[in-house]
Amino acid sequence: MATPTQQWLIAFNWKMNPITRKIAMQLFTATKRKATLLRKVQTVVCPPLPYLDLCKRGTPRCALGAQDIFWEAEGAYTGAVSYMQLRDLGVKYVLVGHSESRARGERNSDIHKKIKAALLGSLTPIVCVGESSREERGGHLEVVKTQIEEALYGLPKTSMKQIVIAYEPLWAIGKGAVRGATPDEIFEMVIYIKKIVSDMYGTKSIPPTKILYGGSVHPLSVKEILLRGGVDGLLVGRASLDVKAVVEILQQAEALKR
Ligand code: PGA
User: Does 52 have pLDDT greater than 60?
Assistant: yes
Q: How many residues does the chain have?
A: 258
152-198 pLDDT, tens digit per residue, is 999 998 898 899 999 999 999 998 898 999 999 999 999 999 999 99
Residue 2 pLDDT grade (very low, low, confident, very high; cuts 50, 70, 90):
low
Q: What is the pTM of this model?
A: 0.96
Note the pLDDT of residue 117: 98
6-17 pLDDT, tens digit per residue, is 899 999 999 999
111-150 pLDDT, tens digit per residue, is 999 999 999 999 999 999 999 988 667 789 999 999 999 9
Q: Which residues have a Cβ under 8 Å from the Cβ of 228 and sit 6 or more positions away?
A: 183, 184, 186, 187
How confident is the model over 229-237, as a mean pLDDT? Answer: 98
Nearest CA to ligand 1 atom 6: 237
pLDDT, the chain, mean: 94
Of all atoms in ligand 1, which is nearest to the CA of residue 177? 5
Note the pLDDT of residue 19: 97
How confident is the model over 87-93, as a mean pLDDT? Answer: 95
- Active-site positions read 98, 168
User: Does 234 have pLDDT greater than 70?
Assistant: yes
Mutate to test the pocket of ligand 1, among 217, 222, 231 (most ligand atoms within 8 A of CB): 217
Q: Report the candidate in 255, 212, 192, 244 with the shortest Cα–Cα distance to residue 10.
A: 212
Nearest CA to ligand 1 atom 1: 237
First to last CA, the chain: 14
Q: Is the CB of 128 under 6 A from ligand 1?
A: no
Mutate to test the pocket of ligand 1, among 102, 168, 225, 246 (most ligand atoms within 8 A of CB): 168
Nearest CA to ligand 1 atom 2: 237
Q: Is the CB of 229 under 6 A from ligand 1?
A: no
Note the pLDDT of residue 208: 76
3-state secondary structure of 229: coil
Nearest CA to ligand 1 atom 7: 237
184-187, long-range: CB < 8 A, 24+ apart = 184/228, 186/213, 186/225, 186/228, 186/229, 186/230, 186/231, 187/228, 187/229, 187/230
Note the pLDDT of residue 59: 82
Measured in Å, residue 38 CA sits from the centre of ligand 1 at 23
